[in-house]
Structure 1
């Protein structure tokens, strides 16, 4: 018969309850004793090893250390070539330029029509679904981990600085390049280190969207050729200009001649434009821009009207 005051559980102050509370502590004590016994047996077995056993252990430890050292030596070149991120343009090794290696990265800003800022992103892991590497933050003022790149073989109209007015079509050239590469992944073939500003002179390629380059062997659209073909840049004809191959100079000049003939881009009003080299020389000397043909025609018309007015005045007298 069950009674309200009856219970199968012993009171908290009973000897049975005290035994139940002390039972886990006994188990822990027994486990500690067993661990001490096992450790003593293992140490005893180790001390009973023969000289051959010690030699075998030493050989195994040496083999393990050598394997780790060799793996590090072999992995370091692989990591440096395919996974190590170069943060600044002056950190690019000379061996990379000598071998004309390709660098993969994201364009973060485009200040003019022939240069851009480049964030190196080697190897996989930068994009989903296999994203395990994090890009550095690039704020409105840029970042200390971007590389300054200059496009090879082209010379875009100069953008104005401060109170100096830029060349005509400089904004259009900059906007065209920005629409092609800003925020996108491109490949840059390293050609030369610029001596004056330290920038890297590169040949940029815009990869295909769906076909990987290793499948076709083609890195994509050559942006140096494309900007000349669209009529937004001159060919860098100076001896300091860098071309991927000397024989390609004529090819770039041919592309510019075709753009001038088609009147595309900045050639839509004619070919008598001031080159960036002429602009730099003129602004350095403080010479104002030359008067255009339309301005000279207006001046001639004003002068002829003044002469005709004088003739009428003298005839009236």
Structure 2
């Protein structure tokens, strides 16, 4: 069998060399068969799949991803977003812990996904919430005695919220790493403002601190409810006027010698 002729070999070598030569960008565009892309059937499906994937990821990150704690809440969420979840514990007359359940039952919570019950399972997985716009009587802490009606406020809030699903319109993070927000709960098929209900029953005053007050645009309504409870002498307003001390005045009076938290601020 004879060897291939050198002339054929040379031709093949030239063809290979020409095929490997770099092609300029304009030549590449001019050489593309654009007629192929003019038919929507060749690119619409790909575009739809890509768009759906990107939108789904964004929806999950913004609305369906569970937030395990305060530090995981993005600053951009404040005053624009709300948190939905179950109340797992009530620590005082105006604050509690929330286990975030984004999407609620539609996302499988309570039938496919369960909210933990044990304290060990809930550790570092809940968000502390401070009810905005109200100040409940102070319980016994830091070695100081409890205010009148502090236990009544705590009992009422526990009965009203513990184990229930609530929605919190979030405003900011306070110096105790709690999320301050207006809290809503469904009771008897209606959505009720928890802070407003406390004021109506005389179990709290409107927030009186000079700094850090948050009402979410509800200050006028809150003060009106407080005024009605005061007129009717409900709850904390039922005693003698001269003997009354608001939670803010109590905390101001007890600030002397009161233990402080790590950043040098006393409880608000």
Structure-1-length-normalised TM-score: 0.61
Give the C-alpha shift of residue 208 in structure 1.
Answer: 4.2
2:61 paired residue among 80, 83, 101: 80
In the alignment, the residues of structure 1 paired with residue 208 and residue 82 of structure 2 have an alpha-carbon distance, to the nearest angstrom, of 24
Give the equivalent residue in structure 2 for 1:258: 228
Offset from partner CA, 1:286-307 (integer Å, 9 cap, x none): 59xxxxxxxxxxxxxxxxxxxx
| In structure 2, C-alpha distance between the alignment counterparts of 1:146 and 1:82, rounded to whole Å | 17
For residues 1-317 of structure 1, the aligned pairs below 5 Å read: 69-99=50-80, 101-123=81-103, 124=106, 125-127=108-110, 131-139=111-119, 143-194=123-174, 196-210=175-189, 220-239=191-210, 240-245=212-217, 248-271=218-241, 272-286=243-257
- Looking at both structures, which has the greater relative contact order when contacts are Cα pairs under 8 Å and sequence separation is at least 6? 2
> Aligned partners of 1:167, 1:141: CA distance in 2, in Å?
33
2:244 and 2:225 map into 1 onto residues whose CA distance is: 17
- Kindly state the Cα deviation for residue 135 of structure 1 after the two structures are TM-superposed: 2.3
Gap runs ≥5 in structure 1:
1-54, 212-219, 288-317
Contact 2:66 2:101 in 1 (8 A): yes
Q: Distance in 1 between matches of 2:251 and 2:97?
A: 22
Give SS of 2:255's match. Answer: helix
- What CA distance in whole angstroms lies between the structure 1 residues aligned with 2:130 and 2:66? 19
Please give the alpha-carbon distance, in whole angstroms, between the structure 1 residues aligned to 2:182 and 2:52.
35
Q: Count the aligned residue pairs.
A: 216
- The answer as to whether partners of 1:104 and 1:187 remain within 8 angstroms in 2 is yes
Q: 1:301 is matched with which residue?
A: none
Distance change >3 Å, CA 263–CA 140, structure 1 → 2:
farther
Give the Cα–Cα distance (whole angstroms) in 1 for the partners of residues 138 and 78 of structure 2: 27
- Equivalent residue for 2:17? none
Equivalent pair of 1:187/1:207 in contact (CA under 8 Å): no
1:113, 1:174 within 8 Å by CA — same for their partners in 2? yes
In structure 2, C-alpha distance between the alignment counterparts of 1:161 and 1:76, rounded to whole Å: 45
Q: Residue 22 of structure 2 corresponds to which residue in structure 1?
A: none
Q: CA deviation at 1:91?
A: 1.1
Q: Note if contact 1:106-1:119 (Cα within 8 Å) is conserved in structure 2.
A: yes
Shift of 1:162: 4.8
Q: CA deviation at 1:238?
A: 2.2
Q: Contact 1:155–1:235 at 8 Å: present in 2 too?
A: yes
Stretches of structure 2 that go unaligned for 5 or more consecutive residues are 1-35, 259-268
Shift of 1:142: 5.0
Q: CA RMSD in A?
A: 2.7
CA deviation vs aligned residue, 1:235-293 (integer Å, no higher than 9, x gap) = 10223210111xx3233222112111111112121334212222222222159xxxxxx
Shift of 1:167: 1.5
